[in-house]
Amino acid sequence: MKTYLGIDVGSLTTKLALLDQDNRLLTAVYLRTQGKPVAMIQEGLEQIRDQMPYGADICGVATTGSARYLAGVVTDADLVKNEITSQAFGAIHYVPDAQTVIEIGGQDSKIIIIRDGVVIDFGMNTVCAAGTGSFLDHQASRLNINIEDFGQQALQSKTPVRIAGRCTVFAESDMIHKQQMGHKTDDILYGLCQALVRNFINNVALGKEILPPVVFQGGVAFNAGIVKAFEESLSTQVIVPPHHEVLGAIGVALVAREEIEASGNMTKFRGFSISQANYHTSSFECKACPNVCEIAQLSLDGKVLARWGGRCDLWERASTG
């Protein structure tokens, strides 16, 4: 059985998805990155290996996410793709006529505009936490609410309060003020959902033409309160597709299959033995110019495998032999 592996490594979570030759999801792994992307990639590969069907053969591997270059070097991936392409492929796989994709993860959020199956525009927020899952995590923790219960409890709200959500600092102080005024927790929670959606639409989606079908993916799509707030704000149905939390990994696996089959090349994947390898990551400042870029470096058994992170390709071109 031919299979294709997609790996999506973000700042908070690491996702792996294995597809068969008919693009069906065979198995997926969802892990907390915990600031240890290499270790989580290795653990994810071990779990994929244990869950693979008998006789399955990995014919292509691709990586995406904020740590896609690191993941690509660790696995010797065939492709390294940006998150926009990967999320768009994943959305179209489950909703072929999708025109707008909203993706909200732990540390960033993005909107992708698709027309006739082609990405024509996108917007991203990688700076402000007020439009991300970590914003909700932190506020839920303050209210002593499990993040898993956040959405359903928010749906109980009858009179949601308006929370100033453009900044996490203002949101927190405003939320404390609303608590002191005696507002119900349900109303504060749904107010937070509305604040996150307002932040997204007024910042990430500013100037974008949002047309249905609208697809919502990423870990935050588990939150039913956010889904409802988007539907109210956009006045349209918001579709949460299957496996939305790992759609970046699914999407990049689809890209891997498409490009590997088109080229006829054999995969470069190192194999599952890399889960036991002793990788070492480090960084240093480049003094070649006034930019003083921080260069990331990955080594195995004392040998440098790759360097990246500069504004130019000086270190990417440098020999690592």
**Surface-to-core class of residue 133, CB atoms within 10 Å of its CB (0-12 exposed, 13-18 middle, 19+ buried):** buried
> What integer pLDDT is reported at residue 75 of this predicted model?
93
In degrees and rounded to multiples of 5, residue 175 shows phi and psi of -65, -45
**Surface-to-core class of residue 172, CB atoms within 10 Å of its CB (0-12 exposed, 13-18 middle, 19+ buried):** middle
> What integer pLDDT is reported at residue 317 of this predicted model?
60
Q: In sequence order, which residues have a C-beta less than 8 Å from that of residue 131 and are 6 or more positions away?
A: 104, 109, 125, 196, 199, 200, 203, 204
> What integer pLDDT is reported at residue 130 of this predicted model?
58
pLDDT bucket at 166, cuts 50 / 70 / 90: low
In eight-state DSSP terms, residue 168 is H
Least confident among 44-58, 132-146, 283-297: 132-146
CB half-sphere exposure, 289, CA atoms < 13 A:
9
> What integer pLDDT is reported at residue 248 of this predicted model?
96
Q: What is the pLDDT of residues 220-235, one digit of tens each?
A: 999 999 999 999 999 9
Q: What is the pLDDT of residues 175-218, one digit of tens each?
A: 777 877 888 889 989 998 998 898 899 889 999 999 999 999 99
Q: In sequence order, which residues have a C-beta less than 8 Å from that of residue 48 and are 6 or more positions away?
A: 5, 16, 18, 27, 29, 272
What percent of the chain has pLDDT above 90? Answer: 57
Report, as an integer, the average pLDDT of 281-295.
90
Q: What is the pLDDT of residues 93-135, one digit of tens each?
A: 999 999 999 999 877 899 999 999 999 999 988 556 556 777 7
Report, as an integer, the average pLDDT of 254-279.
92
Q: What is the pLDDT of residues 68-101, one digit of tens each?
A: 988 998 999 999 999 999 999 999 999 999 999 9
Q: Which two tokens stand for residue 74?
A: 């660790």
Q: To 10 degrees, the CA torsion angle through 257, 260, 266, 269?
A: -60
Domains parsed from the chain with CATH numbers: 2-88+248-276 (3.30.420.40), 98-240 (3.30.420.40), 279-317 (no CATH)
Residue 256 pLDDT > 70, yes or no? yes
Which residues are registered as beta bridge partners of 284? 295
Residue 249 pLDDT > 80, yes or no? yes
What percent of the chain has pLDDT above 70? Answer: 94
Cα separation, 101 vs 130, whole angstroms: 19
Cα separation, 113 vs 215, whole angstroms: 11
CA distances from 280 to 39, 46, 297, 305, 317 (A): 10, 19, 8, 10, 20
Residue 270 pLDDT > 90, yes or no? no
Query: Considering the entire predicted model, what is its pTM?
Result: 0.87
